[in-house]
Structure formats: structure tokens, C-alpha cells
Chains A and B, each alone.
Chain A
Amino acid sequence: MPDLLPENTPFAIARYTPDELKAALRKMYLIRKFEEGAEESYTRGLIHGTMHLSIGQEASAVGACMALGDADKITSTHRGHGHCVAKGADVSRMFAEFFGKESGYCRGRGGSMHIADVEKGNLGANGIVGGGLPIAVGAALSAKRLGTGAVTVCFFGDGANNEGAFHEALNMAAIWKLPVVFVCENNKYGMSTSTERSTAVRRIATRADAYAMPGVTVDGNDFSAVSEAMDAAVARARAGEGPSLVESMTYRWRGHSKSDRNRYRSKEEIADWMARDPITRMADMLVEHGIATREEIAGLEAGADREIAEAIEFAKTGENPKVAEVTRDVYTEAVQ
């Protein structure tokens, strides 16, 4: 009964049921444990290549997907593990992909940077900064033309907001009033270059003005704030009123990728952001509003731990792709 709640009740507490809120927190734990499991597997040499971890950005991914169903689409980024989990992917198939196995979401052809789950509406992470933006607009064009009612959420980072694709995509989404929500996860750095040094505007959300769409900046480590902004933006898209830009201010605790020596930011800055852990804040909010007890929350975390341990075991035991099938799936029908 939202109207019986005190005025300062956070949006998410009023909007979602206790079960939905606990499921959201569990997903945040699942992302955190997934990233930690992936990092450990990488360190132990079980995963090759590189990866971009989203530890610290869990509220942004999960909060942004709260208003979405399986028919809705997302496009994701090179830092896309969290989005994939948030949209409902099976972490076993995700780990299998990271381990390069045939049982992975991309049958071992994509890896971390192209993780996708098309059945759940995740059209894929993208190795090209800004690559997903026009694709998201295309998915929204399909939804509008085919009348599916689906909304597309387009995740990208602060780095992408200086790509031409960002500007072209926002403009087209606006002129055609397409059902798409652009979610800029601003974690302050495009690799090593800060937004202060790379971006002419102080707030990326103000770039929405140039494309005549609403733009808001939210605390991306506050689950409730993210879900509130997304609720409005998704409702607007679903109602046929067009796109929005949501800037989610967050921070990656780890470096850009495995090659990062963290020369461009201070230990103090990292510690400051770690003190604003989105998972701790979500857990505290649920306890404070009587949604969950500390014991229940410990249970959610332990459950996520177990799921990740099982997922890694599943991945380890999977079959490698057959080398003879290296050119499979280049085309839908085999071509000589």
C-alpha cells in the first residue's frame, strides 16, 4: 500500500514487493560473486583473454532491468557481465562461455566481451565502444513497427558518449519517438581518461537536451534511485512517448581490464567509492524497512555463493568446441 508508507520511503520499497526486492538483492550478490569467481578463474589461468569487471556497479545493472520483462531487449557493453545476469541469464552458461566451452551462451565463440542471452532479450555485450547504441535503436524500431510493445534498454559507458554513434543513435531515436532508454553508466573513466578530461559537459545527462529527450542523473549505487529513474523512462517508452537518457553515476572497483595498473586514480578515491558499496546500501535499506532480516540476507549471499561455485564446476566439465567447426555460424547456411 504505497499511500500508507511514510513520505520519505524510498521508491523501490514502495514500488516492489518484498520478494521482488530480495530477488533483486540476490541478483546483485550473484553479479558480485560472478565477477569475483571470474577474476579468480582468470588468475588461476582457467580463463584466457581479458575481461572487464563490474564490481561496484551492481545496483546500476539490476536497478535498470527492474522494469523489464523477458520480451524487452537490452544491448550491453564490454563491461557487460552484470547486465547479462540482471536480464536473467544462467550463470552456468555464462561461465561455460568464459571457459570457452560449447555449452556457453556463445558456444565458446564470443567469450566475456560478447556475452549474450538472446532468449532473455540480451542482444549481446559489445567489444566496440558505442557499438550497441545504433543496434538498440534498431531493436526499438522493430518493436514499434511490429507492435510488440517491447522496450529496449541500451547500456553504455561514459566513454561512449563521445562516440559519433551515441549522437547519431540518440538523434534517430528522438526523431522517430522510439521505445528505447539510453543508460549511461558513468564510472568516471573511459579506460584511464576521466570524464573531466574527455567530455565537454559536466553531466552527460544534459546531452539529452540536444536530442529533445528527458535526461536525468542518478546515484548509480542507489538501487532505489536507479529503479525510480528507469521506471519513469521505461513507462514513457512503453507509452510511445519516445526515448530517455539516464546517467547512472557509479564506479568500478577494479581496473579497466586485466592490464590496468591503476595509475590514473588514487587509493583514496577507490576507498571512498568502496565505502558506498551498492550491495551494502541495498541490504541496509531492506533491513531498515523491514523487508528482510540480516539472517535472510546472509542466506541470499550464501545462495549466490553456492550458485557460482556450481556454475564454475559446470563450466569446467563442459566440452570444448570442435576445431573442425571453427567456421560454423559465420553464415546461417553453410557457404563454401
Chain B
Amino acid sequence: MNMDAGTLARPEQETRELSYAEAIREAMDIALAADERVVLMGEDIGVYGGAFQVTGDLVHKYGTDRVIDTPISELGGAGVAVGAAMTGLRPIFEFQFSDFATLAMEQIVNQAAKVRYMLGGAVSVPVVMRMPAGSGTGAAAQHSQSLEAWFAHVPGLKVVQPSTPEDAKGLLLAALEDPDPVLIFEHKLLYKMKGEVPAGHYLTPIGKAAIRRKGTDLTIVATSIMVHKALEAAQTLAGEGIEAEVVDLRTIRPIDRETVLGSVRKTSRLLCVYEGVKTLGIGAEISAMVAESDAFDYLDAPIVRLGGAECPIPYNPDLERAAVPQVPDILQAARALAGERV
């Protein structure tokens, strides 16, 4: 997989190979060690180590006062994190599954996102919420959703979707330094993915996309796990003489407009690939952004979106795969798009 074409210079630290989950844990470890105000909160994140073993053994290093098992109280727990963030702590709140954030919409949408504005800037809410998301685990409709676009619709929140171990660590550390609420959507299928991760502290900037592969024939804007599917497709396409540029959006609020528009101006064709339900999703926003800008004049073909099917995530493995974009879908869409002229 060609992962070395990020737009940002790599930090100069030495790197090691870590999994995505290990990279997140390392970020939390660094933050807990450096800043007494940092606490972790969530369901079964202590001795259990988290449902996906992301917090792992951190409780043994930092104790139950800083790695806090909450009751199964998503609304209350998220609200406690919000109140703690307003008054001096830096909580990292783990939702066991991002689906369960639906139980905490009140605190996320009405409180965390709005308190600063409602109070005329008198407070900030520096809370980080970690959201294990996405399908592919056979857990069916209530444990597999990709709801990031819901939250990205809310002014006051920042929403990121790291696709690599390096970014998972760097974006979490950046989220902790951010004075406002940051929601991190972590695709569950990425937790075991390995990659080079710089040692020590570094930041991956919030609001900056990364060009993962350079190309001239079409732009594929993808998020999270779809970045990897897009890169896999791009390699096949290269063999057919189609050079796809793959843009990893990384942050969906605020969106890195310049990187997306710059790529579209260069390639004149745009394919958006994301796991969330297609309608009213991230692809709609990207498409509109292009349509409302000068980049529209550069388009040689209609924009194409590939998103989740218009149904809950099903249980049967064949159905589950069919409900979200796969590499063959990307190949098919990209070939059609590359051959098309307006």
C-alpha cells in the first residue's frame, strides 16, 4: 500500500511499527504522563482494557482515578466529561461503540457544541470523544454505524477520522491540545492495522487532508477505511493506465477545502468514497463544495459518490459487505469516470 505521499512532512522522530490501537494507546499514555489534567473515561476501559483493547493496561500505570470506568450511562458519562472539561480537566471519553453516542446526543449536541457560544465565549469545552465506528465486524445494525456526518453537521464540534496509526496518534494528541470538543471516529477494522508511527509527542493538524497517492486522471476523496480501499483500487487502476489521486480527508469538520479543490482542478474528475449512508453525507458536502467553487469549471465529468447503502448495516456477511463501498465498486466507478467526458 502506498502510504508515503502525505502532504505534510513527517515528524523527524524515529518511527516504529505499531497497530492503530497501539498508536492511540501511546498517545493517551503520553498525554496522561505529561498532563495531570488528562483523564480517561468510558465503559470497561479499566482492567478490561476497553471493548477493543485500546486503553489496554493504562489503568495499571495511572490508576482508577485517572482511567475511570463509568457505569453504562452514556448520556451522564458524556455530560460528566463535558462538565469536567469546562472546569479544568482534559477528559478523553470513550464511547464503547459510536452507535451508543446516540444516547448522549443531548450532551454532545446541546451542551458540548454550544456552551461556548451560548456563553459568549466565557468558557471552552476541551473534551475529546473517541468513537469506534464502522461495519465489517458482523455486529449488525446497532454496533456498525458510521454516524460521523451527523456530528459534522453541528457547529462547535470538530470531527476527525484518522485512517493510519500515525494519524490516529497525532490527531488524538492534537485533539487534546484543541480548546474545543473534538470527536474522533476510529474505524474498528483499522485497530489491528500496522503502520510506522513516530515515537514521542507530535501533532497531526486538525483540518488538514493528506494526499496519499498522487495522480492526474481522477481525484478520489475518501475517509477512514475507505482511504485504504481507494489506494488498493488505485494500484489496480494504475495497471490500466488510470492514475488516481487519493485524498484522505482526515478531518470532516472543518474540511480542508484547499486540498480537495486543488486536486480537482488538477484531475478534473471527482469520486467521493465514504462508509456513512450516501444520502446527505460527506460526499454531498464535498460535491457541493466543488460545485460552488471555481473548481467546478475544471470538471470534465459529473461528480460520483460511493457511500453506504440506504439501509441499516445487515448481519449476513455478504449483505454486510454489500452495504458499504468495496474495492470493486471503486474500480467500476473510477473506470467509468475516467472514460467519461462532459
Number of interface residues of B (CB under 8 A): 46
Provide the B58-77 mask, 1 if CB < 8 A to any CB of A, else 0. Answer: 00000001101011010111
A69 to chain B: closest CB distance in Å?
15
Task: Determine which of A109, A146, A167, A168 lies in contact with B118 in the assembled complex, contact meaning CB atoms within 8 Å.
Answer: A109
Residue A59 CB within 8 A of the other chain: no
Per the bound structure, the CA–CA distance linking A331 and B39 in Å amounts to: 22
- Pick out which of these stretches binds chain B: A2-10, A41-49, A130-138, A301-309: A130-138
Assess the A335–B77 pair: CB atoms within 8 A: no
Interchain CB contact under 8 A, B120 and A107: yes
B194 at the interface (CB under 8 A from A): no
**Measured CA separation A239–B49 after assembly (Å):** 33
Instruction: Give complex CA distance A335, B84 in Å.
Output: 24
- B50 close to chain A: CB less than 8 A: no
With A118-B119, A172-B77, A335-B254 already in contact, the answer to whether A141 and B84 are too (CB < 8 A) is yes
Instruction: List CB contacts (< 8 Å) of B206-261 with chain A.
Output: 207, 254, 257
Find out whether the CB atom of A332 lies under 8 angstroms from the CB atom of B124. yes
Q: Are B65 and A172 in contact (CB under 8 A)?
A: no
Q: Which of B37, B39, B106, B207 contacts A131 (CB 8 A)?
A: B106
CA distance A105 to B122 in the complex (A): 8
Residue of B66, B77, B86, B180 with highest tally of chain A CB at under 10 A: B86
Does any Cβ of A come within 8 Å of B116's Cβ? yes
Evaluate contact between A172 and B180: CB separation under 8 angstroms: no
Task: Determine the chain A residues whose CB is within 8 A of the CB of B23 once the complex forms.
Answer: none
- Complex: how many Å from CA A137 to CA B39? 15
Cβ of A110 and Cβ of B119 under 8 Å apart? yes
Q: Which of A126, A146, A331 is in CB contact (< 8 Å) with B156?
A: A331
Decide yes or no whether B193 CB sits under 8 A from chain A.
no
- B256 → chain A, closest Cβ, in Å? 9
Contact A123 B87 (CB under 8 A): yes
Interface residues of A in 117-168 (CB under 8 A from B): 118-119, 123-124, 126-128, 131, 133-143, 145-146, 148, 164-165, 167-168
Apart from A141-B84, A145-B84: 6 A-B pairs, beta carbons within 8 A: A124-B115, A131-B106, A137-B79, A137-B83, A138-B85, A145-B66
Binding site for B on A (CB under 8 A): 73, 75, 104-110, 114, 116, 118-119, 123-124, 126-128, 131, 133-143, 145-146, 148, 164-165, 167-169, 171-172, 175-176, 327-333, 335-336
B: residues with CB less than 8 A from A are 37, 39, 65-66, 68, 70-71, 73, 75-89, 91, 106-107, 110-111, 115-124, 155-156, 158, 179-180, 207, 254, 257
